[in-house]
Chains A and B, each alone.
Chain A
Amino acid sequence: NAGVMQNPRHLVRRRGQEARLRCSPMKGHSHVYWYRQLPEEGLKFMVYLQKENIIDESGMPKERFSAEFPKEGPSILRIQQVVRGDSAAYFCASSSGAGRAYEQYFGPGTRLTVT
């Protein structure tokens, strides 16, 4: 199955710790999007990346959050000094960026709990 992969699926962190969320796009996809979903709410865009480039980070909080998509390996969303309000499901989606470029396919998500 060459679907979008995310790990870990569940992550528990204490306040002040760092959280690292990983996303491997579908095979052949070079565009990655990160979204955050609070309980019983919709999906909010955070950042859009292509290999080695951040295309749009307009949805990222200014502090503590960063993202990267290196030439090799998965995309990583990093949250430093987590707070309780960071508890949410974080989904990544990938797109081919060519042809039927608009379709985004979602990974299973990482559910972050900050205690």
Chain B
Amino acid sequence: GENVEQHPSTLSVQEGDSAVIKCTYSDSASNYFPWYKQELGKRPQLIIDIRSNVGEKKDQRIAVTLNKTAKHFSLHITETQPEDSAVYFCAASKPGNQFYFGTGTSLTVIP
């Protein structure tokens, strides 16, 4: 099965700085990589995703990059704000399959 590893487990940045979270996966057949943001006591919310036919995708302050050869993908948040503080999960999936989640990164943005 698929194995997704996520680093770091905790990350603190100053407001306005960038944050980068990295994930690796093991199954070369995985072709869909979503990122979820989960605030304390809330549901995971999809914030951005990327498919394996794309190397990079950007949505305002959030971007995701994918390196299929190396089997890793990363989330980049620029100009961080306190409301970006949350736990972020990466996942990998194949069509019609379950999501394999990373263990999460707790991001704290210090005002």
Contact = CB atoms under 8 A, between A and B. Distances in A.
Interface in B85-101: 89, 93, 95-101
Interface of B: 32, 34, 36, 42-46, 49, 51, 89, 93, 95-104
A56 B98 contact: yes
Q: Most chain-B CB neighbours within 10 Å: which of A35, A56, A103, A106?
A: A106
B91 to A, nearest CB: 8
A33 B99 contact: yes
A101 B96 contact: yes
A43 B43 contact: no
Contacts, number: 54
Given A48-B98, A104-B46, 18 more contacts: A41-B103, A42-B89, A42-B101, A43-B44, A43-B99, A45-B98, A45-B99, A45-B100, A45-B101, A48-B97, A59-B98, A91-B43, A102-B34, A102-B49, A102-B93, A103-B46, A107-B43, A108-B42
Contacts of A65: none
Nearest to A111: B41
Contacts of A56: 97-98
Contacts of B44: 43, 91, 106
Interface residues of A, number: 24
A103 B98 contact: no
Contacts of B34: 102-104
A97 to B, nearest CB: 7
7 contacts: A35-B99, A43-B101, A91-B43, A102-B32, A104-B99, A105-B46, A106-B44
B19 to A, nearest CB: 19
Interface string A21-52: 00000000000010100000111110010000
A103 B99 contact: no
Contacts of A104: 34, 46, 99
